[in-house]
């Protein structure tokens, strides 16, 4: 099931001279089509993967700081102007659920959730498993996935692994699969080689040439983690960590 068919960058090439239009993920982007229920965008810090996911989320109707389409809170503007020139092409299907998870502003989302459900702890428990402030950062992410995400949804996640242990990332993969089987679409910016292993996902890496599709075992995340685990003593020595 797909709710977003593709995105188009409507900014003329000659006008892409300033941030965010001159960053790698945007500069050479004309169109990106989504052909899998799960799409990953990967790249180095500063490559623009989070900026791209953020712009897609805003265009899809989500609050720039995260949450559902019904969240209207505002603390501090940190999103780019990219969304103004990014066109989201939707399919004929409409999602019944949706969420934009930004790891960096999740504290603000958790606070907004508490405010919305103030005085109705029963509804808060049912929808989110209780206050997201009253559990660890990682537990709050998993509660969100298991309690709030209900399926037939459009879910945009920005570095969801940032609060998760390896075991929790495996749990996240399992929950993602349940939601995909319940007609959901995911678009995710990540550094995690564990999440990238999701079967049949499309992976786009940000390079100097723009977004390029890559197979899982050809990603830098997979190759570097595998090399490190197989050669960690050599790597530690090369990093000068031994005196």
Q: Where are the domains of the chain?
A: 4-217
Mean pLDDT of 78-106: 86
Mean pLDDT of 218-241: 92
d(CA 120, CA 123): 6
Whether residue 210 is preceded by a cis peptide bond, meaning omega within 30 degrees of 0, is no
Token couple for 12: 């003329």
The pLDDT value given to residue 183: 97
* Alpha-carbon separation of residue 142 from 114, 149, 188, 230 (angstroms): 17, 10, 16, 30
Give the N- to C-terminal CA distance of the chain in Å, as an integer: 55
Query: Strand 38-42 to strand 185-189: parallel, antiparallel, or no bridges (unpaired)?
Result: parallel
Does position 80 have pLDDT exceeding 70, yes or no? Answer: no
The pLDDT value given to residue 29: 86
The pLDDT value given to residue 100: 94
Contacts of 159 by beta carbon, 8 Å cutoff, 6+ apart: 50, 103, 104, 189, 190, 191
Domain 4-217: top CATH class: alpha beta
d(CA 199, CA 179): 14
Give pLDDT tens digits for 135-191.
888 888 898 899 999 999 999 999 999 989 999 999 999 999 999 999 999 999 999
Query: Strand 38-42 to strand 86-90: parallel, antiparallel, or no bridges (unpaired)?
Result: unpaired
pTM tops 0.85, yes or no: yes
What are the strands, taking DSSP E only, across the chain? 4-9, 31-33, 38-42, 86-90, 97-102, 153-158, 185-189, 202-207, 210-213
Contacts of 53 by beta carbon, 8 Å cutoff, 6+ apart: 41, 156, 157, 158, 187, 188, 189
> Percent of the chain at pLDDT above 70?
95
The pLDDT value given to residue 194: 97
Mean pLDDT of 220-239: 92
The pLDDT value given to residue 243: 57
Token couple for 157: 């996640």
d(CA 96, CA 154): 8
């Amino acid at each position: 099931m797909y709710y977003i068919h593709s995105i188009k960058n409507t900014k003329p090439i000659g006008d892409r001279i300033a941030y965010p239009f001159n960053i790698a993920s945007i500069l050479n982007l004309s169109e990106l089509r989504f052909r899998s229920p799960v799409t990953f965008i990967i790249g180095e810090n500063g490559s623009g993967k989070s900026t791209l996911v953020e712009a897609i989320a805003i265009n899809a109707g989500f609050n720039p700081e995260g949450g559902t389409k019904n969240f209207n809170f505002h603390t501090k503007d940190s999103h780019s102007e990219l969304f103004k020139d990014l066109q989201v092409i939707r399919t004929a299907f409409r999602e019944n659920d949706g969420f934009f998870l930004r790891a960096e502003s999740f504290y603000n989302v958790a606070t907004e959730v508490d405010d919305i459900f103030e005085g109705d702890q029963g509804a808060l428990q049912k929808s989110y498993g209780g206050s997201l402030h009253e559990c660890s950062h990682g537990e709050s992410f998993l509660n969100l996935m298991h309690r709030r995400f209900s399926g037939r949804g459009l879910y945009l996640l920005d570095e969801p692994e940032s609060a998760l242990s390896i075991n929790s990332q495996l749990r996240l993969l399992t929950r993602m699969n349940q939601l995909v089987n319940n007609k959901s679409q995911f678009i995710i910016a990540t550094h995690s080689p564990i999440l990238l292993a999701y079967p049949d996902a499309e992976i786009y890496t940000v390079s100097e040439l723009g977004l390029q599709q890559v197979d899982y075992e050809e990603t830098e995340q997979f190759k570097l983690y595998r090399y490190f685990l197989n050669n960690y003593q050599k790597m530690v020595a090369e990093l000068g960590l031994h005196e």
